[in-house]
Structure 1
Amino acid sequence: MKEGRFIFIRTSGSRYKYLLPLQPGEKYKISIDENNGLLAYGPNEAGIELYQSVWNEGLRPMAMDWGAFFENDTFSRDEMIEKVKQEELTGFKKLLDNKKITRSFYKLIAGDRDCFYASISAELYLQDMLKIYRSPKTDNSILAEENTMKQLQNIFDRYKPDDKNLMKSPSWTKYALSMYTKFYKQYFAKHINRDNIESLINADSHFSFWFEQIRQSFSDEALESALALLIYRAGPENNDVVEASVPAFEYFKEKYPASHYLQYFQYYMNRAILFYSGNKLDSSIYFIEAGDRINSFSELIFQLRGKKLYVDIWRITCGPCRGEFQYKDSLEIILEQHDIIPLYISLDNNNQDKKWKALVYAYNLRGIHFRANQAFIDDLNKLYLDGKNPGGNEKKSFSIPWYMLIDKNGHIVEKQAKRPSEIIATKRLLN
């Protein structure tokens, strides 16, 4: 790293996630105890430990019931939020005074806390604004709207969304792209009214619109970061490859040709461009045409008889499904050694056909691809329940990702086969 940053660590197969404030050029020893608590040894370790407790408490960020803090009218809402923030920072100031942490470490924490609580404050005022816009227009509501706008403007003037110290905070994405760009700028620009407020809130799919809003809201390093986040989230790491993200990606490459962010989405976007431009891609990716006429798993396997198959049942909105794709290259080597062909069965709707195929090409999923209709999905559920007692404690429907092994005769060898990550770990296909 070139400067202090926050790093997320998640252990494999665990729901626990850890956030570490780290400094460049330093070495740390990290361990996780039997209670899933994170221990860090190295520079600023006392500050890292304190931040773990602060961040774990802050996992309530926007879900936290701040109303409980405002029952006592000794403090205003803004005063109470500032009080909570300063109480947190007091612990870090003591560590700084006792030379347990460096000044650069403290500055990183202070910027993070500023961004975190500015985001909370902004969201609360934006909730106030939504209540105003969802109510009949009166003289009082007009006055309330003006006052709320002043409060929001004060927040964004005091904690500027393009402040480099705030940009290092994990809360910056929500603060800058959601609170500031999506909501505040729209209220301020009068792009909304009581008739279209709901459509604005649910306008996440309007990629081109938000691309322009970001370009108008930021410049320089903040613009680079914001656009990279927008493209990254609209690409394979989110739910699908949005066709509208292609021109945004081209704009980003031209404006920031040496951006280090490119490494996170350039490969996927380049393949998406090939797909959307109609260019021929990898011939080893084969789509079963007229798949909507195949209504059962046995029908599909019958058409592929004579082939040993590793079946991967997935959906473009399934994060764990896409997470397993990172092992596909190593998996392909093992499958080839056993003369097995990957068969990917998508559970996506027919109106997602183009996005589904674009994602297949983006991940370069070589093999056979089939999109299931509802009858096929119902048949899969029967296959899952076959031999099970639906009245017992077992699940009454299957979950994804779901993997199977099929022999040349179309027989199911493994109904619950290993995941790609498990196969790579053990180098074995069978349980």
Structure 2
Amino acid sequence: MCRNVLFLFVFLIGLFFISSCTNRTTTISGTIDKQTKLLYSNPDLAVCFDGFLDTLVPDDQGRFELRLDLKEGRFIFIRTSGSRYNKYLLPVQPGEKYEISIDENNGLLAYGPNEAGIKLYQSVWNEGLRPMAMDWRAVFENDTFSRDEMIEKVKQEELTGFKKLLDNKKITRSFYKLIVGDRDCFYASISAGLYLQDMLKIYRSPKTDNSILAEENTMKQLQNIFDRYKPDDKNLMKSPSWAKYALFRYIEFYKQYFTKHINRDNIESLINADSHFSFWFEQIRQSFRGETLEPVLALLIYRDGGVSSNKLVKASIPVFQYFKEKYPESPYLPYFQSPMNRMLAFYTGSELDPSIRFIESGDSIDSFSELISQLKGKKLYVDIWGNWCAYCREEFQYKDSLEVILKQNNVIPLYISLDEVNQDKTWEALVYAYNLRGIHFRANRAFIDDLRKLYRDEKNENPGGNEKKSFSIPWYMLIDENGNILEKQARRPSEIVATKRLSD
């Protein structure tokens, strides 16, 4: 009896020890502008992706503290609100404390454990962002080594720096292992991308015996990459490069070549979500199992279904419904459930928000003054946008706070879309997906020409100079109740929300 009690006691102590070692609080703190918010990728998710972001609001002094219960080392994307393209990547370990700040050159400074390794990783990661996809070919051209040898050589040179830090006990072994997995995934993605470019070139050329042989050899090289670095490897999933590697490289390109879903007749629609979304969905279900299936489907819905892409894809609706049924408690749902539900409501014609109103017979309105004349008596905040405009969509995140300020000033938002009309009414669906309450109008070609004249009057008043033939968006204006333009270049929503003032 005593032996059993002793055994149970030792067993419970062991469980407590294991739990305390594998699930410890990691703290990331610092100071930012108190008017901004800290956005960070959720480390509880299996995949590190800069679209699945949570928000942390600093205190009145701009101080913030992020507390995370990590079981293993993870990468975390970090950026501040309003800085879409200044994002940072922080490799962290369980149970450690980090102090971070942004320097005058918009670089990330991190102080704490593995500090030297974090600094080295920042330089490596930033360097990797510089070459565009097509430039990697030139980076790895060499008279002595093959492209594959050059890629491996560059990777090992990077890892040598981290190995020196490990040998000098400047970083821990677990930190080093995290970096190795990331570099494996990053360079596997680069290598696969280059071979996929080779395939694209082959498919765009006439079919000959040589091109058939080149296609076979290229597919073998791709198969070797995906066999060596398996897209469903859980260790690779920790890398911020995995989303592109698993979804973009493997599913959306390689699987289409592999299954002959792409040929010389439809090669230019290779990554057209409208044409291939259902195919990608089926390939994901065949290629991923268990814990890896959920994050890849979530990435497909978020990235290619329309939540973050240029337009909404109607074919994503059944995939979204499948996802909700299979993973009703999924931690990924909060990042795309609301816009997808609104898109579903639009296409099914149910539960549409009555505060979203479209101007009828919009195609017959050919000028800005004609449109405004129909809305006399209303103060208007005009937002001119297009679904392809990333900056336009970025500003939509401030719409709820903007709406409060507009109501206080008795102003109504008027959204003017420059999108082409299509069968699926994509721009209308996007309005509901973003929940843009207000009045909506889609400009025809004559109306857009009139906007060019209006913009040119403001931007180019030199009669002897070259007239500006286009205008940039997003473009905002403020109109009074008599239809007069009070501000032809009004503040952006982000600027209005930051200052809580509609105008100067």
TM category, shorter: over 0.9
- Give the Cα separation in 2 of the matches to 1:313 and 1:142: 49
1:412-423 maps to which residues of 2 (within 5 A)?
A: 412-423=485-496
Residue 420 to residue 24, structure 1, CA distance change in 2 (3 Å)? farther
Match of 1:87 in 2: 157
TM-score by structure 2 length? 0.79
Match of 1:389 in 2: 461
Answer yes or no: is 1:41 the counterpart of 2:114.
Answer: no
Q: Indicate conservation of the 8 Å contact 2:274/2:315, yes or no.
A: no
- Give the Cα separation in 1 of the matches to 2:266 and 2:352: 42
- Give the Cα separation in 2 of the matches to 1:369 and 1:200: 31
Match of 2:236 in 1: 166
Q: Indicate conservation of the 8 Å contact 2:273/2:313, yes or no.
A: no
- Give the Cα separation in 2 of the matches to 1:117 and 1:62: 12
Answer yes or no: is 1:201 the counterpart of 2:201.
Answer: no
Letter in 1 for 2:461: N
1:172-187 maps to which residues of 2 (within 5 A)?
A: 172-187=242-257
Query: Which of 58, 72, 78 does residue 128 from structure 2 map onto?
Result: 58
- Judge which range, 326-335 or 46-55, deviates more: 326-335
Match of 2:474 in 1: 401
Letter in 1 for 2:480: D
Q: Deviations over 1:29-82 (max 9, x none)?
A: 222222333211122211110011111221226343444644322x33222211
Residue 136 to residue 307, structure 1, CA distance change in 2 (3 Å)? closer
Match of 2:78 in 1: 9
Query: Which of 244, 253, 272 does residue 324 from structure 2 map onto?
Result: 253
How far does residue 410 in structure 1 lie from its aligned partner after superposition?
0.9
- Judge which range, 91-100 or 124-133, deviates more: 124-133
Between the aligned residues of both structures, percent identity stands at: 76
- Judge which range, 195-204 or 111-120, deviates more: 195-204
* Structure 2 residue matching 1:205: 3-state secondary structure: helix
- Give the Cα separation in 2 of the matches to 1:191 and 1:360: 33
Residue 345 to residue 69, structure 1, CA distance change in 2 (3 Å)? closer
- Give the Cα separation in 2 of the matches to 1:380 and 1:352: 25
Query: Which of 402, 408, 422 does residue 351 from structure 1 map onto?
Result: 422
1:61-80 maps to which residues of 2 (within 5 A)?
A: 62-67=133-138, 69-73=140-144, 75-80=145-150
- Judge which range, 138-147 or 19-28, deviates more: 138-147
Q: Indicate conservation of the 8 Å contact 1:61/1:120, yes or no.
A: no
Q: Deviations over 1:381-406 (max 9, x none)?
A: 11122253255599553211111111
Q: Indicate conservation of the 8 Å contact 2:406/2:412, yes or no.
A: yes
Query: Which of 409, 427, 441 does residue 370 from structure 1 map onto?
Result: 441
Alpha-carbon RMSD across the aligned residues, in angstroms, is 2.3
How far does residue 199 in structure 1 lie from its aligned partner after superposition?
4.3
- Give the Cα separation in 2 of the matches to 1:398 and 1:143: 48
Match of 1:240 in 2: 311
- Give the Cα separation in 2 of the matches to 1:29 and 1:196: 54
How far does residue 188 in structure 1 lie from its aligned partner after superposition?
2.9
- Give the Cα separation in 1 of the matches to 2:133 and 2:107: 23
- Give the Cα separation in 2 of the matches to 1:186 and 1:397: 38
Unaligned stretches of 5+ residues in structure 2: 1-42, 44-69
* Structure 2 residue matching 1:306: 3-state secondary structure: coil
Answer yes or no: is 1:305 the counterpart of 2:384.
Answer: no
- Judge which range, 23-32 or 45-54, deviates more: 23-32
TM-score by structure 1 length? 0.92
Q: Deviations over 1:348-405 (max 9, x none)?
A: 1122772111111122211111111111111111112225325559955321111111
- Give the Cα separation in 2 of the matches to 1:386 and 1:139: 59
- Give the Cα separation in 2 of the matches to 1:201 and 1:353: 21
How far does residue 300 in structure 1 lie from its aligned partner after superposition?
0.9
Query: Which of 330, 333, 348 does residue 262 from structure 1 map onto?
Result: 333
Match of 2:173 in 1: 103
How far does residue 265 in structure 1 lie from its aligned partner after superposition?
0.1
